Structures are given as C-alpha cells and as structure tokens.
Amino acid sequence: MKPETQINRRREEFPTLASGIHLLSHSLGPVPRAARESMLAYYEAWEHHTSEDAWATSWWEMSAHVGDRIAGVLGGAAGSVQIQPNASIALSSVASCFDFKSSRRNKIVTSALDFPSMEYIWDAQRRLGARVEVIASDDGITVPLERILEAIDDSTCLVALSHVSFRSSYRVDAQAIVERAHRHGALVLLDVYQSAGAFELRATEWEVDFLIGGTIKWLCGGPACGYLYVRPDLQNDLQPRLTGWVAHAAPFDFAPAPMRYTDSVGRFAQGTPNIPGLYSVLPGLRIIEEVTVKAIREESERRTEWMIDFALEHGWKVNSPRDVSDRGGSVMIYVDDGPAMVKRLNERRVFVDCRPGVGLRMSPHFFNTDEEVREAMKIVDEVNNGSMIQL
Ligand SMILES: Cc1ncc(COP(=O)(O)O)c(C=O)c1O
C-alpha cells in the first residue's frame, strides 16, 4: 500500500469502531458520538414544544438547512436540494413529473447495475405509457459508456442511472452522459447514494438535472433521510404529481385544489418532514465537511487499489472495476456462499456484507486505519475455505 496520508481519522468520534473492523459504509455507516446529543436535542425540543414552539423555532426551517448542507456535498448551490423520506421516494417524485402518454418523448434509459428501486419504479411507469430501456451489463460489473450513449435519442425524456453501482462499485462518466442527453433534449438523473461523501460530486459543473440519494451510508447519518437535487433553473418548470401540502406556495392557507406549487425546490416536498431523521444526519455531515470529500476520495483510491491487488494476487475474482477511474469506494470480491463467509468474518470482528451473485462488499472509509484494511484482507484469506473462485 502507498504510504499512509495525514488524514484525520477522527476515530474517537465513532464509538462503534471499538467493536471491530467496520467496512460497511456502502450499507450503514457507524454512528457519530455527537448523534446522541443531537437526538437528545430533538427530544428536548419536542418535550418543551408547548412553552417554545419547536416548529417555529427550528423544525420548520430544518429541512432547508439540512438540504443546503447536502447540496454542498453534492457540489450544488444552496436552494437546490429538497429532503425526501428516502431515495426511492425521491425517484418517484421525479418520475411523477413526466407525462409519458401525451408525449412522443417517453423513453427512460436505465441500466442493469442500478439499485432495484430504480427498475421497479420505472417498470411501474410502463403502465402510464413510459418505454423503458434497461442497458445490459455483460460482465455484471460494468456497462460500456458507448452503449449508454447510443441508447439516448430524441425520444428519450430521462436517463436515470446509478452514479456508482451498489453491486459492483462501477462509476459512470456523469459528464459524458449529461452532454449527450442534453444534446438530444433529454434530462439526466443520477443516483448518488453510493458516491455522495465518498467521491467529489460537481452537480453545478456537470449541469446534471437530478441527483437522488440518502445519508445513512458514506455520510454517517441515521435512518432515514433521503434527498433530491434539482437543477435550479429547471425546478419551477416541473409539477410533481407525488406531492402534498408542504409543497404548496402558502401551506398554511390550507387552500382547496388545485395545487399551487411553491417557486423553489420546496415544490418537491410532500408532507410533514422526518424531523428525527434530520437531527440524525447533522453530526455526520459536519464530520464529512471537515474531513473533506477530496481527502476521503484520495484515501479511498489508495486503499481500494491495494485491496484489489491483494485479491488478485490471491487468485480471487474481483467483481469491481480494476481501473480506479471507473470505480467508487467499495470493493466486491466473489465468494460462493456469501452469507456463510460474512458470518465467519463477523465472528472475527470484520464487518462486511454480501449480495447474491456479487460476493463480499467491502468499503474502507476515512475512519479505517491502514492496519485495519490489511488485517481485514488477511482475515478474509484465513477464513476462506476455498469459497473464493480461483482465477
Ligand atoms: C445506490 C442505491 N440507491 C438506492 C438505495 C435505496 O435507498 P432508499 O432505501 O433510501 O430508497 C440504495 C440502498 O442501498 C442504494 O445503494
């Protein structure tokens, strides 16, 4: 492994790290110690609500505040992110903006490496007249860029892809896709759940139209707090059918229909915000902002490179791209019986997970030491009873 960098790992701020080697940032990050205080502040605001109106003093504005903090991580401007209950609802909100039946521009382009919600939600839009093209992956790891670009034509309304795949950590070329889509009059949505907090995102610079994701993985927030980024100059052109009173221009008028959307990203809200979810994400966001995503990515490249070299030297099948320029922050290593292997690793206090057909998913984050990463791979080798496919 290349020499250790000067990054501040802030390990003392994550009590869970004392229990073993945490390589689960693609799933659920460890709780920041400060989340305890933050959740207590939530409780206290609730308890004292009758003497000090919690909605008026903090809760009502909190969604916009957390949204702006997340916008910073995404490389977007303040006012570009609306908090959502989860990433699946964020995606459904975008889907509900399109009128597939009345337009000849009704094709959705997605890929086989996306999270299942993506396919389920787009498949459901076929009932409303959408045509859905799912770009295949020949190796289960990558989808050739040319294949994605070729699928985008003048009948495409939206290209909706995972920026980094949950099953292989394959990362698509966001800029090339946005360029091609915009040339054909199509919009682009990227699911950045597996890249936000692990890879530097540049929403404004890429001119991407939508980003969706959530905070419980690389951003060290608690379940659940999703988000939706909408390109600022696009926001007021859209009228999501998945809506509610909080998206109204004057919600406290409690006016009858028709809906009058507010002129901001707030039009992508639905109902009462998930206030405890918002409290749970603030401590993790602060740590990520302070450590910086740039430093996190540098660390990630150095360690994932070493893990892949280690796996290949041992003849294991790596189910992630070899080239760092095609990769997110996780490394997938094929094993025959994933659940059994995960159990053996957990017994040795190495915390990873597995997915069917994928194998182990292992994700070093900034708080992991180099020693932990080396130790984890050594233990994988020790508990591997021939369950890794030898190349
Ligand atoms: C890339 C990706 N998208 C979406 C999701 C699901 O998000 P949610 O449960 O917030 O809908 C996940 C969860 O693992 C994911 O990895």
Residue 376's pLDDT is 98
Q: How far is the CA of 193 from the centre of ligand 1 (A)?
A: 6
Query: Is the confidence at residue 167, as pLDDT, over 60?
Result: yes
Rg over CA atoms, the chain: 21
pLDDT band at 177 (very low <50, low <70, confident <90, very high): very high
Q: What is the average pLDDT score of the chain?
A: 96
Preceding peptide of 85 cis, ω within 30°: no
Token pair of 387, please?
A: 């369950």
Reported as a single tens digit per residue, the pLDDT across 87-127 is: 999 999 999 999 999 889 999 999 999 999 999 999 999 99
Tokens linked to 324? 């760092």
Q: What gap in Å lies between CA 43 and CA 66, rounded to an integer?
A: 18
| Residue 299 pLDDT grade (very low, low, confident, very high; cuts 50, 70, 90) | very high
Q: What is the pLDDT of residue 3?
A: 82
The confidence score (pLDDT) of residue 391 equals 46
169 lines ligand 1 (CB under 6 A): no
| pLDDT for the residue 389 | 59
> pLDDT at residue 136 above 50?
yes
Q: Which of 176, 189, 186, 188 is nearest to 153 (CA)?
A: 186
Does ligand 1 have an atom closer than 6 angstroms to the CB of 88? yes
195 phi and psi angles, rounded to 5 deg: -125, -30
Q: Is the CB of 170 under 6 A from ligand 1?
A: no
Q: Distance from the CA of 391 to the center of ligand 1, in angstroms? A: 31
pLDDT one-digit tens code per residue, 305-331: 999 999 999 999 999 999 999 999 999
Over range 35-40, report the average pLDDT.
98
**pTM as predicted:** 0.97
User: Looking at ligand 1, which atom is closest to the CA of residue 26?
Assistant: 16
Give me the percent of the chain exceeding a pLDDT of 70. 98
pLDDT at residue 390, rounded to an integer: 58
d(C-alpha 22, C-alpha 369), whole Å: 10
Task: Reduce the DSSP state of residue 3 to 3 states and report it.
Answer: coil
